[in-house]
Amino acid sequence: MTGHLPSLVPVLPEIILAVGAMVLLLLGVFQGDKSYTQVTNLSVALLAVAAFVMFGEVGSSRQITFGGMFITDAFALFAKTLVLIGSGVALLMSGRYMRDHNINKFEYPILVLLSTVGMMIMISASNLMSLYVGLELQSLSLYVLAAMNRDRIRSTEAGLKYFVLGALSSGMLLYGISLIYGFSGTTDFATLAATLKGMHEPAMGVTVGMVFLMAGLSFKVSAVPFHMWTPDVYEGSPTPVTAFFAAAPKVAALALFVRAMFSAFHGMTAEWQQVVIFISIASMLVGAFIALVQTNIKRLMAYSSIGHVGFALVGLAAGTEAGIQALLVYIAIYLTMTLGAFGAILTMRRSEGMVEDISDLSGLSQTNLPMAIGIATLMFSLAGIPLLAGFFGKWYVFKAAVDAGLVPLAVIGLVTSVVSCYYYLRIIKIMFFDEPAPAFEGGQGRTVGLVVGVAAVLNSPVSFLLISPLVAAAAWAAGSLIL
């Protein structure tokens, strides 16, 4: 038996990113830390090239390579596009902050690139083993990024905490994988699905293993009850890194969650549905109620992201094609909202350094009206006020849940959504009606302002124009997952 070369075309974007990251690493090592800006710009260009190749060469056709380890389809194309956008925008926003805090090391963009490779492998994983290595590649880079600011104890603590808890969750994930393998004899998603179909009722071990797998994945998407790390890590990490955490890895982990549940465990929908419903409700409740008492805006965004993951999981809980479609629409909109919101947080800078309290925003409308309007739009959208993009996301997931007969889930979602309006609207009230605090220093560069502006426009009522193509793309992506 002689091995023939597996088709490399489906993996081209990943290969380009990985090889490019290594070339940039060499460039950085030879030039030292002064090459930070250059390496960052080249990294963004590399992400664009990868996206270009992904659309041009790989496309949306269903291709499987490496003996079933790696799959590309419309779903992967959709999710990878979001991940590439998230990584690219987070890199573009980071320049000034990293220079100010003296952490402008060239390794930062390299680690972002390598973790993007990990995310793309996660999205395309069609085997429990490639799922694990993709997840580990992404997580390991994120641990390092969280601890990037070594001179601040909070950043170091965030990195350590993330690492220890992440290792624990990887352990649970691996334990689940080993149980699944032990009781089904395979790690391949397609074979697993066929095996489950062949069993009269799923073996106990597979069910237990699947629950462990879901626990590990819940940690990665920071769903309750595996969310404890999120506020501390979001608060402690450098803000551009937090922006990156909240955007791309969430998308990748949710996509992985969906693919694992639908292509491997489709025969056990009744079993995993209960678990997803539970973590979804718990995440929505924690996201709504604990965020009410936060004073630090990064912690607030952490709880907000927990809540949003809960809403996105409502789509998965529906267990239907419409549910996946709703989830994809939701995470696409969430990506724009969260990147915009973190762009706004990056402008909160006074002469004494970065400020992160919500009260520091007071009276922003009188010192910087355009920024206040931008933030207000994003907050309205995060709250899910009708006519803005966030509303459509919630509308689609709740509709999918109701259509799947999960009315109580949708009702709880609506109630928590109303509760969460309070803290989003409070920020708007502070910005527009409170006594002005000293103005923020400008000079975050045009990129951050541009990101906030574009995100605000995308989330404004302009989204009426964009929502139908987005829904169509999500439907097409979701359709490729259901066979």
Partner 1 sequence: MINLADMAFYLFAFITVASGFLVISARNPVHSVLWLILAFFSAAGLFVLMGAEFLAMLLVIVYVGAVAVLFLFVVMMLDINFTEFKQGALQYLPMGGLIGLILLAELVTLGSAWAFGDVVGQNITAPIPAASDVHNTQALGQLLYTHYIFIFQTAGLILLVAMIGAIVLTHRQRPGVKRQSIADQAARRPEDAYKLVDVKVGSGVALPTKKG
- Count of helix runs (H) and strand runs (E) in the chain: 19, 4
Cβ proximity to partner 1, 197 vs 429, nearer residue: 197
Minimum CB distance to partner 1, residue 124 (Å): 10
From 132-140, 298-306, 309-317, 362-370, give the range in contact with partner 1 by CB under 8 A. Answer: 132-140
Cα–Cα nearest to 443, from 361, 333, 350, 377 = 350
Given a contact cutoff of 8 angstroms between Cβ atoms, the answer to whether 67 and 7 are in contact is no
The residue type of 464 is F
Taking the C-alpha atoms of residue 37 and residue 43, their distance in angstroms, rounded to an integer, is 10
Cβ proximity to partner 1, 187 vs 377, nearer residue: 187
**Residue 252 in contact with partner 1, rule: CB under 8 A:** no
Minimum CB distance to partner 1, residue 448 (Å): 24
**Residue 117 in contact with partner 1, rule: CB under 8 A:** yes
Cβ proximity to partner 1, 94 vs 115, nearer residue: 115
Determine the Cα angle at 286 with ends 309 and 347, to 5°: 65
Cβ proximity to partner 1, 141 vs 336, nearer residue: 141
Minimum CB distance to partner 1, residue 482 (Å): 23
Minimum CB distance to partner 1, residue 23 (Å): 13
Cα–Cα nearest to 301, from 424, 386, 390 = 424
For 295, which DSSP code? -
**Interaction pattern, residues 282-301, with partner 1; x per rule: CB under 8 A:** --------------------
Q: Which of 141, 237, 336, 417 binds partner 1 (CB under 8 A)?
A: 141
**Residue 179 in contact with partner 1, rule: CB under 8 A:** no
From 37-45, 139-147, 264-272, 425-433, give the range in contact with partner 1 by CB under 8 A. Answer: 139-147
Minimum CB distance to partner 1, residue 247 (Å): 20
Taking the C-alpha atoms of residue 15 and residue 46, their distance in angstroms, rounded to an integer, is 11
From 78-86, 111-119, 353-361, 434-442, give the range in contact with partner 1 by CB under 8 A. Answer: 111-119
Minimum CB distance to partner 1, residue 194 (Å): 8
Given a contact cutoff of 8 angstroms between Cβ atoms, the answer to whether 235 and 156 are in contact is no
Minimum CB distance to partner 1, residue 70 (Å): 6
From 142-150, 246-254, 298-306, 468-476, give the range in contact with partner 1 by CB under 8 A. Answer: 142-150
Minimum CB distance to partner 1, residue 18 (Å): 6
For 462, which DSSP code? T
For 357, which DSSP code? B
Taking the C-alpha atoms of residue 237 and residue 233, their distance in angstroms, rounded to an integer, is 6
Residue 442 DSSP SS3: coil
Taking the C-alpha atoms of residue 137 and residue 134, their distance in angstroms, rounded to an integer, is 5
**Residue 30 in contact with partner 1, rule: CB under 8 A:** no
Sites for partner 1 among residues 145-164 (CB under 8 A): 147-148, 150-151, 159
Per-residue exposure over 37-58, b if at least 16 CB sit within 10 Å of its own CB, e if not: eebbebbbebbeebbebbeeeb
Cβ proximity to partner 1, 64 vs 454, nearer residue: 64
**Residue 120 in contact with partner 1, rule: CB under 8 A:** no
Q: How far is the first Cα of the chain from the last one, in angstroms, to the nearest whole number? A: 32
**Residue 210 in contact with partner 1, rule: CB under 8 A:** no
Q: Which of 23, 45, 48, 129 binds partner 1 (CB under 8 A)?
A: 129
**Residue 112 in contact with partner 1, rule: CB under 8 A:** no
The residue type of 295 is T
Taking the C-alpha atoms of residue 447 and residue 117, their distance in angstroms, rounded to an integer, is 24
Cβ proximity to partner 1, 62 vs 105, nearer residue: 105
Residue 296 DSSP SS3: strand
The residue type of 205 is G
Q: How many Cβ atoms from other residues are within 10 Å of residue 369's Cβ?
A: 12
Sites for partner 1 among residues 429-458 (CB under 8 A): none
**Interaction pattern, residues 90-109, with partner 1; x per rule: CB under 8 A:** ---------------x-x--
Measuring CA to CA, how many Å separate 130 from each of 71, 169, 399?
10, 17, 33
**Interaction pattern, residues 35-74, with partner 1; x per rule: CB under 8 A:** -------------------------------xx-xx----
What is the DSSP code string of 84-132? Answer: HHHHHHHHHHHHHHHHHTT---THHHHHHHHHHHHHHHHHHB-BHHHHH
**Beta carbons within 8 Å of 274's beta carbon, 6+ residues apart:** none
Q: Which of 55, 183, 289, 432 binds partner 1 (CB under 8 A)?
A: 183
Binding stretches for partner 1 (CB under 8 A): 1, 3, 6, 11, 18, 22, 25, 66-67, 69-70, 105, 107, 110-111, 114-115, 117-118, 121, 129-130, 133-134, 136-137, 140-141, 143-144, 147-148, 150-151, 159, 183-186, 191, 194-195, 198-199, 203
